[in-house]
A = this chain, B = another copy of it.
Amino acid sequence: MAGKRRYEDGCAFAQGLDVVGERWALLVVRELMFGPKRFSDLKSDLTGIATNVLTQRLTDLEAAGVISRRDLPPPTRGRVYALTDWGRELAPVIEVMGRWSARNPRLQFGWPLSVSAAMMSLGSMFDPSRAEGVEAALQFDFGGELFAVTVADRRLRVDPGRHPAPQVTVTGDQNELLPVLYAGMPVAEAEANGLAVEGDREVLRRFATLFPMPDPAPLPVTAT
């Protein structure tokens, strides 16, 4: 419940911060972006979140209309949390802010990304102007979570589930793939690191050129 600390500001943006501006809230949304999850999945994907905080966020986000909870039918007992249509419309917010954050001069590359974070980052970093004439159909399998990724008509699609006709299939840990996309690591090196690539490696290599990293912003002139 909570005493609901709010900005009393007529600005819709500020009222949006009242809904999803609290700590962890947008990360919960990010984790649900590709489909419903259970409490324990959220807890393990959001490393560091406390159970009571997660409970609180789920309660608040449901009350606001951003997510909904559903009880699973037997035999799979349990409940899952899913974005509402309105909640799913936060995807551009996450993508645009992710793109801004890519210029963070203090960006850290050491920490791992969750599967959802890695897949959302594709939409953030995709550059349509580089996709002229590119057609690609990829399937990713990150520990059993499948994604169908398609580039066509200068657009990128990232859908949960199996791809009907992939040209290349990538299986392994998402954190082994990301250096190929964002740091120019050769595909062969990622394979040596444990990533399994089946099919047309050239499609993956070409795909990896569509996600340019922007230059980092300047650090402040720390007069400390």
Q: Is A68 an interface residue (CB 8 A)?
A: yes
| Bound Cα distance from A109 to B9, whole angstroms | 9
Does A12 lie within 8 Å of B85, measured CB to CB? Answer: no
- When the two chains form their complex, are residues A97 and B16 in contact, meaning their CB atoms are under 8 A apart? yes
User: How often does this chain occur in the complex, in copies?
Assistant: 2
- The distance from the CB of A53 to the nearest CB of chain B, in whole angstroms, is 12
Asked if A11 contacts B114 (CB within 8 A), the reply is yes
Q: Chain B's nearest CB lies how many Å from the CB of A37?
A: 16
Q: Is A196 an interface residue (CB 8 A)?
A: no
Q: Given A84-B217, A96-B92, is A27 in contact with B17 using a C-beta cutoff of 8 Å?
A: yes
Taking a contact as CB atoms under 8 Å apart, the answer to whether A11 and B121 are in contact is yes
**Could you tell me the distance between the alpha carbons of A94 and B113 in the complex, rounded to whole angstroms?**
25
Question: In this assembly, does A108 line the interface, its C-beta being within 8 Å of a C-beta of chain B?
Answer: yes
Q: Does A48 contact B (CB under 8 A)?
A: yes
Q: A210 to B24: give the CA distance in the assembly, Å.
A: 35
Please pick, from B10, B93, B218, the residue contacting A117 in the complex, using a CB distance under 8 A. B10
> Could you mark each residue 18-44 of chain A with 1 if its beta carbon is under 8 Å from any beta carbon of chain B, else 0?
010101101100100000000000000
A103 at the interface (CB under 8 A from B): yes
The reply to whether A100 and B111 contact each other, CB–CB distance below 8 Å, is no
Closest to A106 in B: B64
Interface residues of A (CB under 8 A from B): 7-17, 19, 21, 23-24, 26-27, 30, 47-48, 62-65, 68, 84-86, 89-90, 92-94, 96-98, 100-114, 117-118, 120-121, 124, 175, 217-220, 222
